[in-house]
C-alpha cells in the first residue's frame, strides 16, 4: 500500500494498450517503451501473462480507472494471496529506477531479457537497456552463457533458482564470470551467495517489488534517492522517486508531481545490520506463531542453508496444540534424512536461534511428491504450493 490515499490522484478511464506477454511481444514492447520514455505514448501499457484474457484485462483497467500520468499498469505476483493488484507506474519512476540501478552497479550496459516481461524484473531489463542506448538480449540465460558471445558489459537479472542451476554446471559457472548477475525475486541464502562469489561470479542482491519499479536496495544499500525506514515492529517502508505515485497527476497541485517522492509500506519485516545494511527477515504473512512465539521462516531457512549447504523452505501449517507448526523442506535431491540427522539439525537450530525456533520436521521436499521446487510465473519458489502439500502431509500423521 501507499501511505498517500489513492483518492489524491486524478483518475482516467481511457483504454490502455493491452500487451499479452506470450514470448512474441518483445519487439512491440521495445517500441512502446521507447515511445513512453520520450513522452510519445499517450496511454499506458497493460502487460499481462499468456493465460490472461486480454478483453477481461482491458475491461478491468477501464472500469477501475487509473491515475493520469500512468505509463505502465502491472499486476503484482500475489505470491502470498494468490491474487495480485494492479499497480500504476509512471515513466518517470521507471526511468528513475533504471538510472539508479546503473549508477549503483558498473554503469550502463546491456541487459538479458530472460525474465517474464509482465513482471517488473523482466520489464525493467527493457527500460534499462533502452536508457543505456543498447538493445536487450533476446535469448535465455543458458543460451547467452553457452554462446560465449559476451563482449561488453552485460547484466543478467536472475532468481535464486537460476543461480543454483548455474553453479551446478561447471561450464555455465565459468561462462557466468563474464557477466554481472543481479539476483532478486526471492530471498537468497548467504551460502548460495558465498558459493557464487567463491567461484568468481560477480553477484549483487536486489530487494524491491512492483510498487518500487523493481529493486531499490542492492546488497543491503538503498540506491538512487531511495530511503529505507523501519517501524518499531520491523516493518519496512521504502521512499523514493521510483515508488509508485511519483510522476502521477494529483488533485492538490494540478500538475504531474514528478519532483515528489512517495512511500510504500511493504509487507516485509527487516532489521538494520551493524554496518547499516538492510536484512530482510521475510514477509509478515509468512510469519509462524507457534506456542505463543512468532518466528520468521527466512531466518530458519538461512540457518539451515548455512548448516547443510542446501536450499530450504520453511512453511507453517495448523497445529491443534501449538496453533501452528513450522515444517522445513530441503532441496528435493537430498536423500531421506535419518532420524538422528533430523534430530541433530533440529537441535542445532534450537542452539543457534533459541527454544521454539526448531521446525517440527526437517525433510527433503521429495516427501511431498515434488521432484523440484515449484515456481511461480515470476520464477519465485511457490510457497503456496508447498504449504498446501505440507498441510496434507502433516495431517496424514507424518510428524
The stretches in the chain having pLDDT less than 50 are 1-5, 79-82, 256-259
Cα dihedral value 162, 165, 169, 175, nearest 10:
10
Q: What global pTM score does this model have?
A: 0.83
| pLDDT at 262 (0 to 100) | 85
**Cβ contact 76:209 at 8 Å:** yes
Cα-based torsion angle of the residue sequence 320, 314, 343, 196 in order, rounded to the nearest 10 degrees: 180
- Give the Cα separation of 321 and 110 in Å (integer): 54
Helix or strand holding residue 157 (H, E)? strand 154-158
Quickly count: other Cβ atoms within 10 Å of residue 54's Cβ. Answer: 12
- The alpha carbon dihedral of 241, 245, 248, 250 has a sign of negative
Q: Distance between CA atoms of 139 and 24, rounded to whole angstroms?
A: 12
Task: List Cβ neighbours of 297 (8 Å cut-off, separation of 6 or more).
Answer: 282, 286, 287, 288, 313, 314, 315, 316, 326
Going from the N-terminus, what domains does the chain have, and what CATH number goes with each? Answer: 6-281 (3.40.50.12780), 287-395 (3.30.300.30)
**How far apart are alpha carbons 145 and 139 in whole angstroms?**
10
pLDDT of residue 248: 74
pLDDT at 260: 62
The pLDDT tens digits for 231-262 are 998 999 999 999 988 777 666 555 544 446 78
Contact, 60 vs 86, CB < 8 A? yes
Is the distance from CB of 378 to CB of 121 less than 8 angstroms? Answer: yes
Distances (CA, A) of 356 to 238, 292, 297, 394, 397: 31, 9, 12, 18, 21
Query: What pLDDT score does 258 carry?
Result: 46
Cα 337 to Cα 113, 117, 236, distances in angstroms: 39, 40, 37
Write the DSSP assignment of 306-345 as a string of letters. Answer: HHHSS-EEEEEEEETTTEEEEEEEE-TTSPPPPHHHHHHH
C-alpha grid cell, residue 127? 527500460
pLDDT for the residue numbered 46: 96
The predicted structure's pLDDT at residue 178: 92
Q: C-alpha grid cell for residue 295?
A: 518466528
Q: What is the CA radius of gyration of the chain?
A: 22
Contact 396, 361 (CB under 8 A): no
The DSSP annotation for 94-127 comes to: HHHHHHHHHHHTTSS-EEB--S-TTSHHHHHHHH
For residue 86, count other CB atoms closer than 10 A to its CB: 16
Q: How high is the pLDDT of residue 246?
A: 73
Amino acid at each position: 500500500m501507499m501511505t498517500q490515499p489513492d483518492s489524491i490522484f486524478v483518475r482516467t478511464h481511457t483504454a490502455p494498450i493491452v500487451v499479452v506477454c506470450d514470448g512474441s511481444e518483445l519487439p512491440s514492447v521495445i517500441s512502446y517503451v521507447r515511445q513512453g520514455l520520450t513522452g510519445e505514448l499517450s496511454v499506458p501499457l497493460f502487460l499481462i501473462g499468456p493465460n490472461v484474457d486480454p478483453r477481461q484485462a482491458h475491461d478491468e483497467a477501464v472500469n477501475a480507472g487509473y491515475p493520469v500520468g500512468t505509463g505502465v499498469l502491472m499486476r503484482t505476483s500475489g505470491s502470498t494471496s494468490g491474487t495480485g493488484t494492479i499497480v500504476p507506474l509512471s515513466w518517470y519512476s521507471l526511468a528513475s529506477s533504471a538510472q539508479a540501478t546503473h549508477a549503483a552497479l558498473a554503469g550502463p550496459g546491456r541487459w538479458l531479457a530472460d525474465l517474464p516481461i509482465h513482471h517488473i524484473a523482466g520489464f525493467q531489463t527493457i527500460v534499462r537497456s533502452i536508457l543505456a542506448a543498447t538493445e536487450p538480449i533476446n535469448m535465455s540465460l543458458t543460451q547467452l552463457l553457452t554462446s560465449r558471445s559476451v563482449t561488453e558489459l552485460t547484466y543478467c537479472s536472475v532468481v535464486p533458482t537460476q543461480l543454483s542451476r548455474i553453479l551446478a554446471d561447471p561450464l555455465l559457472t565459468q561462462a557466468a564470470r563474464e557477466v554481472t548477475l543481479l539476483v532478486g525475486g526471492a530471498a537468497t541464502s548467504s551460502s548460495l551467495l558465498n558459493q557464487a562469489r567463491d567461484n568468481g561470479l560477480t553477484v549483487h542482491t536486489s530487494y524491491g517489488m512492483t510498487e518500487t519499479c523493481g529493486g531499490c536496495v542492492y546488497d543491503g544499500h538503498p540506491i538512487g534517492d531511495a530511503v529505507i525506514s523501519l517501524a518499531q515492529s520491523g516493518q519496512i517502508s521504502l521512499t523514493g522517486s521510483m515508488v509508485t505515485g511519483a510522476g502521477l497527476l494529483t488533485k492538490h497541485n494540478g500538475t504531474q508531481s514528478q519532483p515528489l517522492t512517495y512511500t510504500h509500506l511493504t509487507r516485509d519485516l527487516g532489521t538494520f545490520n551493524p554496518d547499516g545494511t538492510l536484512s530482510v527477515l521475510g514477509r509478515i504473512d509468512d510469519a509462524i506463531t507457534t506456542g505463543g512465539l512468532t518466528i520468521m521462516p527466512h531466518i530458519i531457512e538461512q540457518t539451515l542453508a548455512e548448516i547443510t549447504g542446501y536450499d530450504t523452505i520453511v512453511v507453517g501449517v495448523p497445529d491443534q496444540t501449538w496453533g501452528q507448526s513450522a515444517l522445513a523442506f530441503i532441496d528435493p535431491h537430498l536423500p531421506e534424512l535419518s532420524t538422528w540427522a533430523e534430530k541433530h539439525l533440529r537441535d542445532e537450530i534450537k542452539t543457534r536461534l533459541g527454544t521454539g525456533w526448531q521446525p517440527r520436521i526437517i525433510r527433503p521436499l521429495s516427501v511431498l511428491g515434488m521432484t523440484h521446487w515449484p515456481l511461480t510465473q515470476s520464477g519465485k519458489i511457490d510457497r503456496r504450493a508447498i504449504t498446501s502439500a505440507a498441510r496434507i502431509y502433516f495431517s496424514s500423521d507424518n510428524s
